[in-house]
Chain A
Amino acid sequence: MSQAVQPLLELRQVRLDGRGLPRLAAVSLALHPGERVALLGPSGAGKSSLLAVANGLLAPSSGQVLWQGEPPARSRRARRRQQARIGTLWQDLRLIEELTVQQNLNAGRLAVWGWPRALLNLLMPLDTAANAAALAKVDLPPELLHQPVAALSGGQRQRVAIARLLRQEPSLLLADEPLASLDPRLAGALLALLLAEVTPQRAMLLSLHRPDLLAGFDRVIGLRAGRIVVDAPAAALRGAAGESLLAELYQGSEAPGVHPGGLGALREGGEAR
Chain B
Amino acid sequence: MSGAFGFEPAVKPGVPAPAGPIGAGPRRPAMPWPAAPLQMLLPALVLLPLLAWLPFTAHGGGLDLLGRFALAAFTPSLDPLVVRSALAGLATTVGMALLGWVASLVLGVSLGVASSRTLWRTCCGRVWPGGWIRRLLAVPRAVHELLWGLLLLQLVGLQPVVAVVAIALPFGALVARVVADLLDGLDTGRLEALRLAGAPAPAALFTALGPPLLPGLLSYGGYRLECALRSATLLGVFGLGGLGTDLRLTLQSLEFHELWTGLWLLLAVMLALEAGLGWLRRRWLMPRRLALSQAGVGVRGREMVLALVALLPLGFGVGRALGVDPRGLLTWQPLQGVGGSGWWDGDRLLALPWPSLIGGTLALTLLAAALAVGLPPLQLLVSAPWPPLRRLVQLSWAFARLWPPPLTALLLLLLLQPGLLTAALALGLHNAGILGRLLAEALADGSSARHGALVSAGVGPRLALLYGRYPAVARPYLAYGAYRADVLLRDTVVVGLVGATGLGSQLLESLSSFAWDQLLALVAVYVLLTLLGEELSDRVRRQLLRCG
Contact = CB atoms under 8 A, between A and B. Distances in A.
A207 interface: no
A191 interface: no
Contact of A269 (B19, B448, B466, B548): B448
B20 A271 contact: no
Interface in B1-56: 16, 18-29, 32-38
A83 B455 contact: yes
A139 interface: no
A207 B470 CA distance: 31
Interface in A68-125: 76, 80-88, 90, 92, 94-100, 103, 107-108, 110-111, 113, 115, 118-119, 122-124
A148 interface: yes
Given A94-B450, A97-B16, A118 B463 contact: yes
Interface residues of B, number: 46
Nearest to B472: A98
B458 A96 contact: no
B292 interface: no
Given A97-B471, A100-B35, A111-B459, A150 B19 contact: yes
B451 interface: yes
B458 A84 contact: yes
Contacts of A148: 19-20, 548
B449 interface: yes
B35 A98 contact: yes
A123 B34 contact: yes
B275 interface: no
A98 B451 contact: no
B455 A96 contact: no
Contacts of B548: 98, 148, 150
Contacts of A97: 16, 19, 471-472
Contact of A151 (B24, B455, B460): B24
Contact of B453 (A84, A90, A119, A267): A90
B448 A119 contact: no
Given A99-B471, A110-B463, A268-B452, A147 B457 contact: no
Contacts of A98: 16, 35-37, 471-472, 474-475, 548
Given A143-B26, A146-B29, A272 B450 contact: no
Contact of B35 (A113, A122, A264, A271): A122
A123 B22 CA distance: 23
B447 interface: yes
A111 B458 contact: yes
Nearest to B474: A98
B220 interface: no
20 contacts: A76-B385, A86-B458, A96-B468, A98-B36, A110-B467, A115-B462, A118-B466, A122-B37, A147-B26, A148-B548, A151-B22, A151-B23, A168-B457, A264-B452, A267-B452, A268-B448, A269-B447, A269-B451, A269-B452, A272-B456
Interface of A: 55-57, 76, 80-88, 90, 92, 94-100, 103, 107-108, 110-111, 113, 115, 118-119, 122-124, 143-148, 150-153, 168, 170, 264, 267-272
